[in-house]
Amino acid sequence: MAIKLRHTKRYKEIASALVRHGFGYVAEEMGLFHLFSLPRKWMKGGENKLVLTWAERIRLVLEELGPTFVKLGQMSSTRKDILPADVIVEMKKLQDQVPPFSMREVRQIIERELSDSLETIFASFNETPMAAASIGQVHYARLHSGEAVAVKVQRPMIEAIIKYDLEILRELVPLAERRLDWVSQYQLGDVLEELSKSMMDELNYTHEGRNADKIARQFKDDPHIHIPHVYWNLTTSKVLTMEWLDGVKLGALQESKELLTRKKEVAERLVNAMLHQILIEGVFHADPHPGNLLVLPGARLAFIDFGMVGHLSEKMRYQLTSLLIAMMRHHTEGVARAVVRMGMVGDDVDMDALEKDLDRLRERYYDLPLAQVSLAEAVNDLFSIAGKHHIRIPTDLTLLGKALLTLEGVTESLDPEVSIVDLAEPFGRRLLRERFRPNQVRKRLWKDTTETVSTLAQLPRQLSQVSKLICSGKLRMEVGLTDLEPLLRKLDQVSNRISFSIVLLSFSIVMVGLMFAASTGNEPAFLVHLPVMEIGSVIAGMMMLWLLYAIFKSGRF
């Protein structure tokens, strides 16, 4: 393994954290003690391993190793297809609260990024942050034009720290997959790359600003949903300036007497807004927890913090719609077909076993009215089945699952009688009608036709390439024999029959020659006084009987 020398100190910190929380055997099996000459006395660590569960100890390791590992743990809390349920629970507990960084550093970052002094940019700037997290913190400020704004400033050096840790993880994951058999089944390399991309997107505040603008366009004609405006002239990759909203956090709705009586209305608006984003637009807020939702005067709903946004392609949205319709109709084959077309199933998956598990899932919800179906439980069950069959769920679908689970929890806290599935049914019917509209059918037929024509157009070139490989002797073929014994038996039978035929042919030729010689009176002198015909017949007959006996005894005639 190619280990960079500048990573040595961090590797020792990782090994130390593993040992301290009872995972010294993991560091030992991965060879970290040997690679870095770590003291063997470290193996005596992990006094808390008898008190805490292994899932709790994993959480403590991640918290000790800092923001990169905490963020990866939080993001992996959506991966029910690869992580056990008890680990998922602990990943959701990971704390992202850290002490705020100083106002001096805030000033330096803003002035460097916006190329002007703080006083020139803002009429006032609150030095005490409204919120602080591992990536950045938010300050209240006011522009010279009078608008109130929220200014998010990225923590100093956090991008370099995260990139550094990601480099180390890209070295550690292949090492773990080679040395630990149980790790290789989880495809951690692919998962790490997906989570790394999400983290790098979150580090770029212009990406978050573009996400806010996309979702704002979805609700430009909806007076009940508000998305804060982005001030692009005061936004860079490390500073994000958005409209400040005076509202009540959804989690503190009990404190507003005016809004307390409108909780059902707020819950329905939230569900309809999320379903519109997911099923109609294909771009959705992936973390709609109470801290990211505000209720404005008039029970209007506002989304904030767009660092985590999911994207569904048109094809994925089409199959997701098929999945939801099949689930509503309790159609097992339809569910399985949608799952396969989403590209979630590998070649080694036992489809019969998968369909049986999906059928049991269907039976579980078959007799329940839609209002009593828990979307959270259904998603959990579907992800559990995926994990059981080693089906890898695309990142955007795991974000969707997380968003739906969060949405149901928030909705239940507002009004337990509001059913997401009930509210989703009109969307499903609308999408079903749109799917069979003539222009949509024509569009799909045209797309399928062009793809088929494109494939056929490439066929001559591909055949030419295969022909060249055959002529050059470079074509490699792999033949798999599921059962070699029947083939060997057949080869024995063929070879024995050929041997038998050759012996009989030889015998016939010799006997014909002798008979011809006897009939012409030209027998050789040394055969005149011998009963050649009789002796030859006896010997040849004995040889034939012996050969037949040997072949029949082997049972391979």
Q: Which residues are catalytic?
A: 287
Reduced to 3 DSSP states, what percent helix, strand and coil does the chain have, rounded to the nearest 5? 65, 10, 25
Q: Which pair of structure tokens corresponds to residue 481?
A: 């024999």
Residue with tokens 């790098």: 200
**Dihedral sign, CA of 487, 491, 496, 498?**
positive
User: Distances in Å between the alpha carbon of 371 and those of 21, 66, 311, 318, 377?
Assistant: 45, 43, 28, 24, 13
Given a contact cutoff of 8 angstroms between Cβ atoms, the answer to whether 40 and 2 are in contact is no
Q: Which residues pair with 137 in a beta bridge?
A: 132, 153
Q: Across the strands, what pairs with 138?
A: 131, 152
Q: Tell me phi and psi for residue 23, to 5 degrees.
A: -115, 30
Q: What is the DSSP string of 331-385?
A: -HHHHHHHHHHTT---TT--HHHHHHHHHHHHHHHTTS-GGG--HHHHHHHHHHH
- The Cα 79–Cα 97 span in angstroms is 23
| Contact yes or no for 350/389 (Cβ under 8 A) | yes
Cα separation, 336 vs 81, whole angstroms: 16
Nearest one of 229, 339, 224 to 276, comparing CA atoms: 224
